[in-house]
Amino acid sequence: MPEPRTVALVTLGCARNEVDSEELAGRLEADGWRLVDDASEADVAVVNTCGFVEAAKKDSVDALLEANDLKGHGRTQAVVAVGCMAERYGKELADALPEADGVLGFDDYADISTRLNTILSGGHVEAHTPRDRRKLLPLTPVERQAAAAEVALPGHGAPEDLPEGLAPASGPRTLRKRLDNAPVASIKLASGCDRRCSFCAIPAFRGSFISRRPSDVLNETVWLAGQGVREVMLVSENNTSYGKDLGDIRLLETLLTEVAAVDGIERVRVSYLQPAEMRPGLIDVMTGTDKVMPYFDLSFQHSAPAVLRRMRRFGSTEQFLGLLESIRAKAPEAGARSNFIVGFPGETEEDYAELERFITHAGLDAIGVFGYSDEDGTEAAGYDGKLDQDIVDDRVSRLSKLAEELTAQRAEQRIGSEITVLVESVEDGVVEGRAAHQAPETDGLTTLLGADDAEIGRFYRATVVGTEGVDLVAEAITLLGADV
């Protein structure tokens, strides 16, 4: 019997891409492929690209070129691009990057095994022609669920979508194969976005907003718990819209309590929240439900009303501060983070000062700062009032410095408080994990002292005794059991 062909998945970008990669892994394993971690040991390296901003696109191209360098020096025979950048640019990317042996869009995912076999056999798979994926589903959200079966929605796979008689060797019939053994995993709650922010191209290549069925989310949670996952993070382009196409805009509140009740899951975290769509009932559930973390990843982007209007967003400094105040009235230690764009077309020095005022008073635990740059196909790319790059760079530098100081101060305010730490790394005597206000990869870490017997996936109650920027240093008090 011939040896199975091998494949390595290289994932860039956000947690949503990580879920998509695990769906691809599930499909490939179900069709007999052997998954390997090292691209140099794979017959084909599949790079799941990010196409959000210029820096992410550059990283994606670099990853493809790095994988291409392996060809001719080992087992690697082909390099294939998938993901957002491949979907967004298609044939344009294929022409500009001949080093890639294939550029596959979302429509290719359901038949990914055949596509890769064709490429490895010397055949050609035509790169797709990009299209506005918002037009693939009905305009009215409640009409979308019936049409969704005919549209490729990465990360939405259900077990019945597997070819008959095939199942991954690692477990039950599922379209997901875990690519690591971390105690935390993301779950795709929805795909796409109906908002029309003037700077963002994501809706055009990810499509209109469509929710996954609650039963699919719950079944996947149960499966992940069986794989040793202790914390799940619900991800999508806009979690606060979950359920609107299922006839219940408050469905997230119900789903959160059900996910938190899954045996083995000790933490549930929600990301990507739109401030304009936050509602009192959702805040109540996120601050008052056992095992649901009081963690608020709020997409503010700016706080000056004039800039927000040009961004096609809503709010103001006072409204955003009021939202944070309402959250902390219910959970004083709640975590809050956000990203901000500076140098947006038409942004005045007064607008920038207003953003500084908001950040100074917001008490955010983590802040991402990005300088504006034109994105292909967006409304803002055609705006007048573009700022000189040196002005944009100066404002990025100033706001980044302020953000670094303020988030460090916020971390210092936690000294003396008790936290619960999920251990994620034990290496050379150093134990690291995350507290409730720290999401994976974005919000800092906690170094745990006095936990010599620590194991990955276990929880400790600890006291914060020091900080290093946004990172915490905590002294272990006790190892916790199931009740955390």
pLDDT per residue as tens digits for the range 329-377: 999 999 999 999 999 999 999 999 999 999 999 999 999 999 999 998 9
Helix (H) or strand (E) holding 11, with range, is strand 6-11
Give the strand pairing for 459-468 and 418-427.
antiparallel
Kindly provide the residue ranges of all beta strands, DSSP E only, lying in 122-220, ordered along the sequence: 184-188, 190-191, 210-211
Which residues are CB-neighbours of 354 under 8 A, at least 6 positions away? Answer: 303, 304, 317
DSSP annotation of 245? G
DSSP annotation of 377? T
CATH of 139-412, one of 2.60.120.380, 3.40.190.10, 3.20.80.10, 3.80.30.20: 3.80.30.20
Which residues are CB-neighbours of 118 under 8 A, at least 6 positions away? Answer: 124, 125
Q: What is the dihedral of CA 474, 229, 368, 358, to 10 degrees?
A: -70
Q: What is the CATH number of domain 6-129?
A: 3.40.50.12160
Q: What is the dihedral of CA 397, 399, 401, 402, to 10 degrees?
A: 160
Please check the confidence at residue 244 and state whether its pLDDT lies above 60. yes
Give the strand pairing for 459-468 and 446-449.
unpaired
Please check the confidence at residue 164 and state whether its pLDDT lies above 70. no
The answer to whether 51 touches 40, Cβ cutoff 8 Å, is no
- pLDDT tens digits, residue range 44-62? 999 999 877 677 778 888 8
The whole-number pLDDT of residue 185 equals: 95
- pLDDT tens digits, residue range 413-427? 999 999 999 999 999
Position 4 confidence tier, pLDDT thresholds 50, 70, 90: confident
End-to-end CA distance of the chain: 49
Binding site listing for [4Fe-4S] cluster: 14, 50, 84, 193, 197, 200
- Which percentage of the chain shows pLDDT scores above 90? 72
Domain boundaries, the chain: 6-129, 139-412, 417-480
Binding site listing: 14, 50, 84, 193, 197, 200
Please tell me the class of the 417-480 domain: mainly beta
Average pLDDT, the chain: 91
| pTM (2 d.p.) | 0.91
